[in-house]
DNA sequence: AATGAATGAGAGTTCATTCAT
DNA sequence: CATGAATGAACTCTCATTCAT
């Protein structure tokens, strides 16, 4: 007697033990969702699969998150936007030259975000944002905007201190962001635009780009003086 | 959850009824498909919508293309892979230094592909390739591979002529491709990772990156000599 | 540039030459339709395929027959019902014992119908009749009824002449028909209910069944006398 | 042309809304499917209709069976192939002459299969097998082959015991099967090849054919001795 | 709180039939 | 007359979400 979904791609709970701690549920769901969203994209991830990977039933997922979109937002908050206050503090407390600050910023971005699954969320928004305008708007508000604000603050610090040239900060932001976005895409799309293996070493790439940007920011300064 | 459907434009054929345009149809369909695929992605584009935008009914689309996947492949051939033979010839006939050749290559890539809708196909493959393995394979075979081959030929020319350092050509390819891929993503995802408008001027960016790459290729050379 | 149906199962006209005689068209269509209906069934036969096999276009088919159902009816008339008047005459003119007549009847039925493609129409009606009530009704009226009438006449002749027992003619009809229907099914469904090849020789089977039936009709007679 | 759809009964679920009947569902669906497949054939039965007759929605059907074809296979297993093991045992335990065994075999075949809806599946395969090769292959493997094997065993028993002539058992099988197939078609196609009602009494027909077959099997024996 | 059976709108694809040429 | 491009209703199957248990 065939039970439901007997013949389909097996979706079976991962957690064997009954050790489900109630409080841990949302976290487990968020983790499962992150994995799957990053792996398959938003539209292509089935909510049942998220639930199964978290070791709960479909119904439970909707108990904690009212919809797939809200689940996604929660994943974004958990992995990206929720961490800005910590980062902001870190940079407010930073002592040292703004050049070091920027270098440090790019380096730890790679360590804490770029090299983790969380960076897949950015790739996901780039890919599917158009099809889910509400998510795109949320992401812009909660991630893009705070991120830009943080960077803008750093750059302005450098300009104000005379370390950087008096550039248009809003434009300069992209010189910093571009290589990071590129790296993420590289990481999450290997199979499509790469023929041979490992043509880029991310850490080296980041250092290089940091130098390049700083060179630019300072060169501009010197040129003007 | 409001499905992607929710936001879609209303679907209504544009043209008069039962107009016979056998010659023109495939082209019109391919154009409509390109527009929609680039705008919404492969999965989120409904075939009926493609048909409607081309001014025909759902059935007519399947008269010309046996499936959505084949339609996509045809779009790729029409806009990307079908043009490699022309490009290859152009570069075989190129006279001048390899540096000029590479600079020219990046420049016209932006003019003829990067700045057009066709570049959206690359973004699409980066986004959805994992969910449509057959399309990904097709794209790799028909676009990525020929593209890499063309670039590899150019780089090798420079190495052989002594103009470039004797670098690992297969790796160097990515130094050229990376900024182009980034630009495309930039272009097709404006709304997601950009706060203010047009912070990057593509043409300038390309020139800059070209210089950067050439500098690297030559610097390496000089360092060794 | 893909032309219509380029990728699909090729359906291409059979007749190469331009020797299409206008008057012959309907006949060619009927022949093609008979072939395909018998081979694939009514529902599963595509009208375009019928047209192609007859060497004309889809449109032409509908010029001669207003619908697929009417085409089928025409095929039935051409191959079965239209031939009853001839058969009736033949039997009216028959001289000899009714036993010989019946034997002859079954034998030539096999030769002229059972062993030809036309018998596939009967199998088709048995199979799909329920799904096409109008066709079933037509077939009953035009084929089953005349056939039964002819047989009834023969049987009654035997009863009247005292050659057969005074049986219920209406029931006895089925003793004659049953083996013929079975043979047809045998012929048209080999692949499904037969494991090894050619387990039945139709001609022999018919003779045998004829003897059996006659034996029964006469035995009943003798038993009563 | 009025398509088959035209004649279909209106589709409306019977049961109350959202009733949970996990245990009972598969059985109810199989029964509904059997009814409809037998009534309309495989191709002409719409899955939504099967669901509706079982009192559930379209989606629920696909919760239990992954496709229409798998549903059909399950119906075949449930009603035919799944019962062979029981039948095989019954015949292994049979005590008595092989003649009695064969007579018994044909008789209970009629009682348990021929006279039930299940026999419609055989008619269906005869009709539509060509259009659904995978189903035909399944049916051959799961029903035709085991059935032939069972019969072959019985016949060989008779030959080995000297009760039957040393005939070619593989051919003789068809002498037994033929009348059963005919009866099934008769039953499921009444409206098409029958003018008046109930001209055949199945039980009597089976007994008659059994005698006929046994007569043949034994006569051949005597003739040789 | 948790489950998972049930729902139903919606997607890709087919094909009898129409009708402009 | 003949063509074949075009139509659109119908079909199978999917999956986010609901809700009885």
Residue C120 pLDDT grade (very low, low, confident, very high; cuts 50, 70, 90): very high
What was the pLDDT predicted at C8? 52
- Minimal C-alpha gap between D199 and chain C (Å): 5
What was the pLDDT predicted at A44? 87
- Minimal C-alpha gap between B178 and chain C (Å): 33
Q: Which residue did the predictor score with more confidence, A126 or D190?
A: A126
Residue of D nearest to C189 (CA): D126
Question: For chain A, what percentages of helix, strand and coil (3-state, to nearest 5) are there?
Answer: 70, 0, 30
Q: Which residue's CA is nearest to the C1' of nucleotide F14?
A: D59
Scan for tokens 């676009």, then name that residue: B143
C196: nearest CB among D40, D170, D178: D170
Chain B residues near residue A196 by CB distance under 8 angstroms: 170-171
Nucleotide nearest to B50 (CA to C1'): E12
From CA A164, how far away is CA A152, in angstroms rounded? Answer: 13
Tokens of D11: 């589709």
Q: Which residue did the predictor score with more confidence, B190 or D215?
A: D215
Cβ-proximal residues to A142 (8 Å cutoff; 6+ apart), any chain = A73, A76, A77, A80, A81
Q: What is the pTM of this model?
A: 0.84
Nucleotides of E under 7 A from a protein CB: 1-21
Chain C residues near residue B82 by CB distance under 8 angstroms: none
Q: Do D70 and A1 touch (CB under 8 A)?
A: no
Q: A180 and A128 in contact (C-beta within 8 Å)?
A: no
Residue of D nearest to A2 (CA): D64
What was the pLDDT predicted at A17? 42
Residue of A nearest to B209 (CA): A212
From CA B134, how far away is CA B143, in angstroms rounded? Answer: 14
Tokens of D55: 């009192």
Q: Which residue did the predictor score with more confidence, B129 or B4?
A: B129
Q: Which residue's CA is nearest to the C1' of nucleotide F21?
A: D20
Chains that touch C (3 or more CB pairs under 8 A): B, D
- The residue of B26, B59, B77 whose CB has the most chain C CBs within 10 angstroms, and thus the best one to mutate to test that interface, is B26
Look at residues B219, B216, B141 and name the one whose alpha carbon lies nearest to residue B178: B216
Q: Which residue did the predictor score with more confidence, D69 or C126?
A: D69
Nucleotide nearest to D59 (CA to C1'): E7
Chain B residues near residue A132 by CB distance under 8 angstroms: 4
User: Is residue D8 over pLDDT 50?
Assistant: no
What was the pLDDT predicted at C122? 92
Q: What is the mean pLDDT of residues D28-42?
A: 94
From CA C98, how far away is CA C157, in angstroms rounded? Answer: 7
User: Is residue B93 over pLDDT 50?
Assistant: yes
Chain D residues near residue A59 by CB distance under 8 angstroms: none
For chain D, the straight-line distance linking the first and the last C-alpha, in angstroms and rounded, comes to: 63
Chain C residues near residue D170 by CB distance under 8 angstroms: 195-196, 199
CA of A203 to C1' of E17 (A): 65
Nucleotide nearest to B18 (CA to C1'): F6
From CA D87, how far away is CA D108, in angstroms rounded? Answer: 10
D1: nearest CB among C67, C128, C182: C67
CA of D48 to C1' of F21 (A): 26
Q: A97 and A163 in contact (C-beta within 8 Å)?
A: yes
With b for 16 or more beta-carbon neighbours within 10 A and e for fewer, the A161-175 pattern comes to eebbbebebeebbbb
Q: What is the mean pLDDT of residues C28-47?
A: 93
Tens digits of per-residue pLDDT, D44-61?
899 999 999 999 999 999
CA of C31 to C1' of E17 (A): 21
User: Is residue B140 over pLDDT 70?
Assistant: yes
From CA A209, how far away is CA C52, in angstroms rounded? Answer: 65
Nucleotides of F under 7 A from a protein CB: 1-21
CA of B130 to C1' of F20 (A): 38
Tens digits of per-residue pLDDT, B14-44?
555 566 676 778 899 999 999 999 988 899 8
Chain B residues near residue C4 by CB distance under 8 angstroms: 22, 63-64
What was the pLDDT predicted at D221? 52
Residue of D nearest to A6 (CA): D64
Tens digits of per-residue pLDDT, D135-180?
999 999 999 999 999 999 999 999 999 999 888 888 788 878 878 8
User: Is residue C62 over pLDDT 50?
Assistant: yes
% residues pLDDT > 90 (chain C): 53
Q: C161 and C98 in contact (C-beta within 8 Å)?
A: yes
Scan for tokens 């094997």, then name that residue: D149
Burial of A189 (0-12, 13-18, 19+ CB in 10 A): buried
Tens digits of per-residue pLDDT, C172-203?
888 888 788 878 887 887 555 555 444 567 88
D18: left (phi over 0), alpha (psi -120 to 50) or beta: left
- Minimal C-alpha gap between A150 and chain D (Å): 49
From CA A51, how far away is CA A57, in angstroms rounded? Answer: 5
C96: left (phi over 0), alpha (psi -120 to 50) or beta: left
What was the pLDDT predicted at D1? 40
Size of interface C-D (CB pairs under 8 A): 128
- Minimal C-alpha gap between A1 and chain B (Å): 32
What was the pLDDT predicted at A186? 76
What was the pLDDT predicted at C190? 58
From CA C81, how far away is CA C146, in angstroms rounded? Answer: 8
Show pLDDT as tens, one digit a residue, over chain A (225 residues): 454 444 555 566 655 444 445 667 789 999 999 999 998 889 889 999 999 999 999 999 999 999 999 999 999 999 999 999 999 999 999 999 999 999 999 999 999 999 999 999 998 888 788 888 899 999 999 999 999 999 999 999 999 999 998 888 887 888 888 788 878 877 886 555 554 444 567 888 888 888 878 887 875 555 544
What was the pLDDT predicted at C15? 52
Q: Do C41 and D130 touch (CB under 8 A)?
A: yes
Q: Which residue did the predictor score with more confidence, B182 or B68?
A: B68
What was the pLDDT predicted at D193? 57
User: Is residue D38 over pLDDT 50?
Assistant: yes
Tens digits of per-residue pLDDT, D78-119?
999 999 999 999 998 999 999 999 999 999 999 999 999 999
Residue of A nearest to B212 (CA): A212
What was the pLDDT predicted at D30? 96
* pLDDT, chain C, mean: 83
Q: Do A7 and D63 touch (CB under 8 A)?
A: no
Q: Do D170 and C195 touch (CB under 8 A)?
A: yes
Q: Which domains are assigned to chain A?
A: 4-72 (1.10.10.60), 80-224 (1.10.357)
Q: Do B22 and C7 touch (CB under 8 A)?
A: no
User: Is residue C6 over pLDDT 80?
Assistant: no
Chain B residues near residue C11 by CB distance under 8 angstroms: none
What was the pLDDT predicted at A16? 45
Burial of A99 (0-12, 13-18, 19+ CB in 10 A): middle
Q: How many other CB atoms are there within 10 angstroms of residue D86's CB atom? A: 10
User: Is residue B213 over pLDDT 60?
Assistant: yes
Residue of B nearest to C5 (CA): B63
* pLDDT, chain D, mean: 84
What was the pLDDT predicted at D4? 42
Of the ranges A97-106, A164-173, B65-74, C134-143, which one carries the lowest mean pLDDT score? A164-173
- The residue of B64, B73, B76 whose CB has the most chain C CBs within 10 angstroms, and thus the best one to mutate to test that interface, is B64
Q: C200 and D174 in contact (C-beta within 8 Å)?
A: yes
Residue B173 pLDDT grade (very low, low, confident, very high; cuts 50, 70, 90): confident
Of the ranges A86-90, A123-127, C72-76, D8-12, which one carries the lowest mean pLDDT score? D8-12
From CA D138, how far away is CA D74, in angstroms rounded? Answer: 11
Q: What is the mean pLDDT of residues B173-185?
A: 83
CA of C67 to C1' of F4 (A): 17
CA of A73 to C1' of E2 (A): 23
User: Is residue D9 over pLDDT 50?
Assistant: no
Look at residues B57, B94, B68, B84 and name the one whose alpha carbon lies nearest to residue B149: B84
What was the pLDDT predicted at A121? 95
Chains that touch D (3 or more CB pairs under 8 A): A, C
Of the ranges B55-69, C3-17, C88-102, D76-90, which one carries the lowest mean pLDDT score? C3-17
User: Is residue D15 over pLDDT 80?
Assistant: no
Residue C105 pLDDT grade (very low, low, confident, very high; cuts 50, 70, 90): very high
* Beta strand spans in chain D (E): none
Q: Interface of chain D against chain A, CB under 8 Å?
A: 22, 26-27, 63-66, 70, 74
What was the pLDDT predicted at A221? 52
What was the pLDDT predicted at D126? 83
What was the pLDDT predicted at B195? 52
């Amino acid at each position: 007697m065939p039970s439901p979904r007997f013949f389909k791609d097996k979706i079976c709970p991962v957690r064997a033990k009954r050790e489900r701690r109630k409080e841990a549920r949302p976290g487990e769901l968020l983790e499962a969702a992150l994995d799957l969203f990053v792996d398959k994209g938003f539209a292509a991830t089935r909510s049942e699969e998220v639930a199964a990977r978290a070791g709960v039933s479909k119904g439970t997922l909707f108990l904690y998150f009212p919809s797939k979109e809200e689940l996604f937002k929660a994943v974004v908050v958990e992995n990206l936007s929720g961490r800005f206050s910590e980062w902001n503090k870190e940079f407010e407390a930073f002592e040292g030259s703004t050049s070091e600050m920027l270098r440090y910023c790019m380096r730890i971005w790679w360590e804490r975000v770029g090299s983790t699954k969380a960076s897949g969320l950015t790739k996901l928004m780039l890919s599917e944002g158009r099809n889910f305008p509400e998510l795109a708007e949320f992401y812009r508000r909660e991630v893009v905007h705070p991120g830009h604000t943080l960077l803008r603050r750093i750059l302005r610090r450098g300009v104000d201190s005379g370390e950087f040239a008096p550039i248009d900060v809003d434009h300069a932001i992209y010189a910093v962001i571009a290589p990071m976005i590129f790296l993420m895409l590289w990481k999450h799309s290997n199979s499509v635009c790469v023929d041979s293996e490992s043509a880029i070493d991310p850490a080296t790439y980041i250092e290089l780009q940091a130098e390049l940007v700083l060179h630019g920011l300072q060169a501009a300064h010197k040129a003007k003086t």
